[in-house]
Amino acid sequence: MKILYYDWNEFTGKDCRMVLEELGHEVIPFRYDWNRLNEDPGFETALHKELTDAGTCGKPYACAFSFNFFPVVSAACERMNVVYISWIFDSPHLPLTSRMVRNHVNRIWIFDRAMYLQMKKEGISTVFYSPLGVNSKRLREVSGKLDEMPVYEHEVTFLGSLYDNEYNFYDQAAEYLPEYLRGYLEGVFAAQQQIFGADLIGEESILPAEKIRELNRYMKFALSGSYQMNLDQVIRDILRKKVTQEERRKLLERFGKCCKLDLYTQEYSPVIENVYDLGRADYMKKMPRIFHRSKINLNFTMRSIRSGIPLRALDIMAAGGFLLTGYQQELEEYFVNGQELVMAGSPEEMQELILYYLEHDRERMEIAQRGQEKTLNLFDYRILLKKMIEESL
């Protein structure tokens, strides 16, 4: 079938288009620069013309596809009655608050089951659940033979964003908050950082709705246009991002004192003592090599991901890397802890596990091998994309 692929230069795009073509589809990339999340007449007009011309001058599109959900794409597809498949990999993903998520042509696939269930509970019938995926063919070639000991270039590695260079709504408002409210929130942040796999910020008994409403008076966070925002949810996600920012820095500082820790992250990140900042790593080539040639790869899940498996975790295991991660519900559902990956419940336990597995090469390598086999067998794009398209059309 013919698929219009909205290409916004996302790092997963090349793999996805490659596999869609392997599955026998004709994939036509569509690119358009735009500045607004939901209202861009030029974008919608150009996309509508592409869909119209295909239908009148040649083979019509069976569907449109994108990673993440774009209201402008949904609007054009709704006008043309073309199915729009989107696969969400960001969390939080603000466009999911758009009224256009309810457009009947949408097939929105969400990797976080907790988020999916929440949206279904809200009466949104256009959402579906699927974990994220990897290109197993490319990663098998990168990682080489499973029974060979890697030539290690790193002891312990974390590859990911520290969120220091991004706009942060909480930091903008923090200096204006009453002292009691700022102290209360900082206490919640500190408690949250001590527990992996539990969402204290979402607990009404710990962070009541009235505290969220009071905080919003200082944030003054609002959207207009096609957005129908659940203010409570959006602000809690802002707080979860703030926790993630603080947590990653503190964990890296802590672990850097007990082992040689290498960091790959965005440019211009602040210096972290005892951590070696090695800059950016491209997704297709350098990143799999880093994962495969690190004795231990750390994963600190973005706190707004309530239950889902972050793409980083799958990328690490698919490349044959050893994954040490904080607890996450869906990781436990799909993988055997201690056999295919290793999960920690707290920063203290993670530090103990780092020191243990640095000293146990054979055990660590066997866990990495089993984790890779399961990831490549269960989370291959060829399996997930085939299922997604069949169930969407």
- The CATH number of the domain holding residue 11 is 3.40.50.11720
pLDDT digits (tens, 9 = 90+) for 321-344: 999 999 999 999 999 999 999 999
* 112 and 151 co-located in one domain: no
- Give the pLDDT of residue 305: 96
Give domain status of residue 157, yes or no: yes
Question: Containing domain of residue 55, as a range?
Answer: 2-130
88 and 109: one domain?
A: yes
> What's the mean per-residue pLDDT of the chain?
91
Amino acid at the residue 173: A
Q: CA 388 → CA 2, 110, 154, 313, 321, distances in Å? A: 15, 11, 37, 21, 27
Which of 87, 110, 130 is at the close of a domain? 130
Q: 82 and 14 in one domain?
A: yes
Identify the domain boundary among 93, 114, 130: 130
Q: Which two tokens stand for residue 200?
A: 């204290």
- Is position 57 within any domain? yes
Residue 265: inside a domain, yes or no?
yes
Q: What is the pLDDT of residue 219?
A: 80
- Distance CA(194)–CA(191), nearest Å, equals 5
Q: Are residues 126 and 105 part of one domain?
A: yes
Inform me whether the pLDDT recorded for 37 exceeds 70: no
Query: SS3 for 243?
Result: helix
Residue 259 domain flag: yes
Looking at the fold, whether 124 and 141 belong to one and the same domain comes out as no
Residue 387 forms part of a structural domain: no
- The answer to whether position 391 is within a domain reads no
DSSP per-residue string spanning 75-123 = HHHHHHT-EEEEEE--SS-GGGGBGGGG-TTEEEEES-HHHHHHHHHTT
- Confirm whether 35 is domain-assigned: yes
- pLDDT-derived band at 57 (thresholds 50, 70, 90) equals confident
Could you tell me if residue 386 is inside a domain?
A: no
Residues 41 and 62 in one domain: yes
pLDDT at position 166 over 70: no
Q: Of 146-160, 284-298, 346-360, which gets the smallest average pLDDT?
A: 146-160
Mean pLDDT, rounded, for 294-303: 97
Pair (141, 120) in one structural domain: no
Lowest mean pLDDT among 9-13, 160-164, 258-262, 329-333: 160-164
What domain count does the chain have? 2
* Per-residue pLDDT, 41: 80
Q: Is the pLDDT of residue 226 over 70?
A: no
In a shared domain, residues 23 and 155: no
**If pLDDT is split at 50, 70 and 90, which confidence band does 142 have?**
confident
171 and 94: one domain? no
Residue 156, domain CATH: 3.40.50.2000
Q: Is the same domain home to 205 and 354? A: yes
Can you tell me which residue has the tokens 């991004």? 166
Query: Looking at the predicted structure, is the pLDDT value of residue 179 above 80?
Result: yes
Q: Which of 85, 107, 130 is the last residue of a domain?
A: 130
Most confident of 145-154, 171-180, 265-274, 279-288: 279-288
pLDDT above 70: percentage of residues in the chain: 93
Q: Is the pLDDT of residue 371 over 60?
A: yes
Both 151 and 37 in one domain: the answer is no
Task: Answer whether 0.85 is exceeded by the pTM.
Answer: yes
Rounded alpha-carbon distances, angstroms, from residue 56 to 25, 49, 53, 99, 325: 20, 10, 5, 30, 51
**Looking at the structure, do residues 109 and 205 belong to the same domain, yes or no?**
no
